[in-house]
Structure 1
Amino acid sequence: MAFDYRKYVAFKPVGKTDRRWPDKVIDKAPTWCAVDLRDGNQALVKPMTVAQKQRLFDLLVKLGFKEIEIGFPAASQPDFDFCRKLIDENRIPDDVKIQVLTQARPELIERTYEALKGAKRAIVHVYNSTSTVQREQVFGLDRAGIRDIAVNGARLVREIAARHPETEWTFQYSPESFTGTELDFAAEVVDAVTEVWRPDQGQPVIINLPATVEMATPNVFADQIEWICDNIQRREHLSISVHTHNDRGCAVAAAELAVMAGADRVEGTLMGNGERTGNMDLVTMAMNLYSQGIDPTLDLSGMAEITEVVEACTEISTHPRHPYAGELVFTAFSGSHQDAIRKCLARREPGELWNVAYLPIDPFDIGRRYEEVVRINSQSGKGGVAYVLERDYNISLPRWLQIEFSKMVQKEAETNGGEIDSLTIHRLFEERYLKVHDDWALRAYDLHRDSEGVQADVTVGSGTTERSLKGRGLGAVEAVSDALERQFGISIAVEAYDEFALGEGTNANALACIRLMAGGQHCSAAALAEDTTSATLQALFSAVAQVVGTEMRAAETRPDTVDA
């Protein structure tokens, strides 16, 4: 297949000669509207369950969003039911407006108001496509026909709202595919809609200008926004909103330049989940403002919780290089980078402005620690599951065990549904890695080092099952592995083990994690003990028990294997 660029038409610039936005500086956050539960949800292979929607809605409220689009209730029964659930169960804070989407079709607008009945504050978001390609190839209508759809929809939105004065209504109109619409026609349709709604007479109105498909560079979008702001009627009474998509990978840049060009409001999703290449990433844009000393009006300090909830609800992993939220985004592998960071931190005094090499923001501000995000070796930062274990139980896991254990937690979540809380994560970890069977409990050990290595004398078991094992090796782990090989007639190869000294808050002083190949099978285990050697040996026994069984027994073919 030929890679034929000639079949594409280059996007024509607006041709503005009086652009002012390049000289503007963003000095305050726009109004944010999170559309994760509508635009984000409809882009998922597996749409969210009610429990997932509720969890994500609660997170958005916790982060400080005051406008949240919760669905398209007229087009989806699950969306309708979720809207009713929020209202009927009084789950919407008084200072939060829910927003719902509807096409400018009478039956859908009627159904939308049914879903919103009883809401204290709500935004009715009505749209119809205005672009050239949609007019000509999808609807087969001229400009007048498209304008009539918008106007008729606006009238019905106003009329039905008047029947429900108990709700504080905001009207929102979107000329869908704005970036593919002639600017003079976009302004004509917007003016026709606001002539119906009359924001100049007190009705709150949002005009949303979506880059439904990102078609040009961000500066072109900024020109379009500035042109509209300069040429529409009743501008001073309107909130101009933008909704950028990421087809060209520039959604955040386009939204930022749009704010410089006059936009008051930005719609997007956490982590940028959305159709095709995604929506504008609210986390990235808000944190960009934060990094410039501008209050984003959102609390993004708990980044681990944000990524955990978003991943659980969307079933999409956060890229490790995602700006601000990625697992590796603050990790410095280069020795020179690490050296520079440490020198900057050593010179920094409390209260000073942040000015540290290679770190655009202080990782601590979003719940990360220097010890976690800058490492001497190639291990990356902790994931959500490991974070919970460390935060609540002072248990730090090596990278290989983080990956392995997170799959178990994910499986548990898929089986049982809903949220996996901290207690459940800890229970799963104990049952899978820390549980010690009586026959395999370490009772005593003696490690004697001589010129040939280490002689290990170990006692395991309890009561009548107590057994003494002897082995030899270059180190303690190798010596005890030799004893187990003699006992069971299997080969044991330790692939990885890690020891951690624990701080205050636990009865044990050390944690050891081990992964090995025993009898041709992979197995791993962990152990808590008073010292690192005891923990390591117990982890070794627990891992081997997964292969040979929980009952301590000698290999039938080698009755003499107890003695070294």
Structure 2
Amino acid sequence: MKTASISKYRPFPPVQLPDRTWPDQTITTAPIWCSVDLRDGNQALPQPMSVEEKLEFFDVLCRVGFKQIEIGFPSAADTEFNFCRRLIEENRIPEDVTIQILVQTREHLIRRSFEAIAGAKKAIVHIYNSTSPLQRRVTFSDATREQIRDIAIEGAKLVKELVPTIPNTEVILQYSPESFSDTELDFALECCNGVIDVWQPTPERKMIVNLPDTVQWATPNIHADMIEWMCRHLKSRESLLVSLHTHNDRGTGTAATELGLMAGADRVEGTLFGNGERTGNLDIVNVALNMNSHGIPTGLDFSDLTSLRQVYEKVTRMTVGERHPYAGELVFTAFSGSHQDAIKKGLDRREKETQGDPELAWGVPYLTIDPQDIGRSYEAIIRINSQSGKGGIAYILDREHGLDLPKTMHPQVGKRIYDLADELGRELTADEIRDAFYRLFANVELPLSVKDYELVHHTTERGQVACSATIELYGEERKIHGLGNGPINAFVQAMQGAGMKDFKVTDYRSHAVRGGSDANAAAYVQVQHDDGRILWGCGIDPSIEMAGLKALVTGWNLLRA
């Protein structure tokens, strides 16, 4: 924004609440959740959902565990009305789920809404009218506060009058002073209390007072002050459910909701993945999984978040961003080398520690939750590009391809492979990493290769083995022989006899390759050149002896690369 433009804006006034208590509160229990995907989310779509798509989404929301679902604005369009009727007439609403409909406080719209919900076991009738000074001035042509308050009161009276016309439906009233976020608190209170006086809720028959952050004008702490102020001053507080409905204009929908709950709210409205007008609604997935990450049960099941995201993207034709909390494609992915190394160490250590304590508290660097708990897999956590490090590449080779590289081999392998990613200018796939490892570090046969190898374990020297090998060195074939205390040592002695030994073997490891189609063994041999250079070579073969030999030859060749 240009500096000259800033003069047109004003700071949002703070709430005078010096004895605020919400900063000392913590969230210990989940609120009542209400999905507004099928109404608020749907009306924000470039192409609204069809009835069939809404039915599919409704079923998904029920499976997730939502007990209150705002299904639409049935008085606004035939599609909305017909969807509501299909839910009721086809008995699609589970016994423990309450549908919610939205309607402006206008007589003909309220009457049409009652026609829509007739026959439902239980329904929330959500009435609203705009209350802010800006809306009063612009939308309602300078209407007075009294006129706006009376709209709310008359709407509540009509709802109460119509309840007996659908005797088989339990009606719960919800009132929203729309644009509460920039309405004077005393006037928002006046409107809400006027509706409360009409409805006369009781602790057994509660009313919902919804305080929407329709447009985010202020920081989350001011929103929390507003919620705490209202909770203190509303009539019949014990007979009310105070509800939050935060939008995300300032990018703080989650924070505003969490602080609003600390300030005394009982209920939360929002959508999956934050779909909604402008920058969207509160993302209920985000808030619920934040609670889960602190050990708080929410009643919502996001254990298969990938499938949920697929349904959402299909019926809404929206996409979940790659960095979207919890659900994004890359949120459990580390490209940074230091992050990758820490994640690998954390996962390896946890795997060992949980064998003795299955209930061990979660603790892996850079991962606030276990990705498996929401249907993600570890295979996608570490991915490799030019910013990656040795730990991440070793992790991929281990988890994806069953190759457990010695730790001191990680830098050697890591540098070559992330140099390759840098050269290509893109991320490497797990298979590309495996292929590069095999090409650069496993069974390398130039300039030296073994054409034939024979090992004799029974010799005149006790504990010794003899080897006889046909090798090709720089295109020339020759035979070498050696005697040693094992297969690798015997070959080293053969190389020494042929004038080829300018190194010493300083380490050796081996293991079975996990998850491969063949029963291969992997061996790793560390060689130190006479000039001090230290390198690892890897050999892979069905025979553990041949794998070790190939690892030694690879190390020798790499010293000459």
Equivalent position amino acid for 1:368 in 2: R
Alignment of 1:445-484 (within 5 A): none
* 2-structure distance, mates of 1:307, 1:22: 34
- How many aligned residue pairs are there? 395
3-state secondary structure, aligned to 1:139: coil
Give 2:85's aligned residue. Answer: 84
Say whether 1:371 aligns with 2:372: no
Q: 1:344 to 1:29 in 2, by over 3 A?
A: same
Give 1:20's aligned residue. Answer: 21
Contact (CA 8 Å) 2:125, 2:171: kept in 1 or not? yes
* 1-structure distance, mates of 2:251, 2:296: 24
Give 1:298's aligned residue. Answer: 300
Give 1:266's aligned residue. Answer: 268
3-state secondary structure, aligned to 1:158: helix
* 1-structure distance, mates of 2:110, 2:318: 32
* 1-structure distance, mates of 2:349, 2:338: 17
Alignment of 1:486-505 (within 5 A): none
Shift of residue 374 of structure 1? 2.0
Q: Deviations over 1:5-50 (max 9, x none)?
A: 1111210001210100000000011111000000000001110111
Say whether 1:360 aligns with 2:368: yes
Contact (CA 8 Å) 2:384, 2:428: kept in 1 or not? no
Contact (CA 8 Å) 1:175, 1:209: kept in 2 or not? yes
Contact (CA 8 Å) 2:35, 2:269: kept in 1 or not? yes
Greater mean deviation of Cα atoms: 65-74 or 2-11? 2-11
Alignment of 1:244-323 (within 5 A): 244-323=246-325
Q: Deviations over 1:387-407 (max 9, x none)?
A: xxxxxxxxxxx9999xxxxxx
Shift of residue 291 of structure 1? 0.8
Give 1:11's aligned residue. Answer: 12
Shift of residue 137 of structure 1? 2.0
Q: Deviations over 1:416-469 (max 9, x none)?
A: xxxxxxxxxxxxxxxxxxxxxxxxxxxxxxxxx999xxxxxxxxxxxxxxxxxx
* 1-structure distance, mates of 2:380, 2:183: 48
Q: With structure 1 as the length reference, what TM-score do the two structures score? A: 0.67
Equivalent position amino acid for 1:372 in 2: A
Give 1:93's aligned residue. Answer: 94
* 1-structure distance, mates of 2:99, 2:381: 37
Give 2:151's aligned residue. Answer: 149
Q: Could you list the runs of 5+ residues in structure 2 that have no partner in the other structure?
A: 389-425, 430-444, 448-512, 519-561
Contact (CA 8 Å) 1:268, 1:282: kept in 2 or not? yes
* 1-structure distance, mates of 2:53, 2:224: 35
Alignment of 1:124-523 (within 5 A): 124-140=125-141, 141-200=143-202, 202-348=204-350, 349-350=353-354, 351-377=359-385
Shift of residue 378 of structure 1? 7.7
3-state secondary structure, aligned to 2:335: coil
3-state secondary structure, aligned to 2:158: helix
3-state secondary structure, aligned to 1:175: strand
* 2-structure distance, mates of 1:8, 1:338: 44
* 2-structure distance, mates of 1:261, 1:279: 20
Equivalent position amino acid for 1:315 in 2: R
Contact (CA 8 Å) 2:337, 2:387: kept in 1 or not? no
Give 2:409's aligned residue. Answer: none
* 2-structure distance, mates of 1:378, 1:70: 47
Contact (CA 8 Å) 1:128, 1:176: kept in 2 or not? yes
* 1-structure distance, mates of 2:161, 2:218: 38
Shift of residue 376 of structure 1? 4.0
Contact (CA 8 Å) 1:126, 1:174: kept in 2 or not? yes
Q: 1:86 to 1:342 in 2, by over 3 A?
A: same
Give 1:427's aligned residue. Answer: none
Give 1:517's aligned residue. Answer: none
Shift of residue 73 of structure 1? 0.4
Give 1:121's aligned residue. Answer: 122
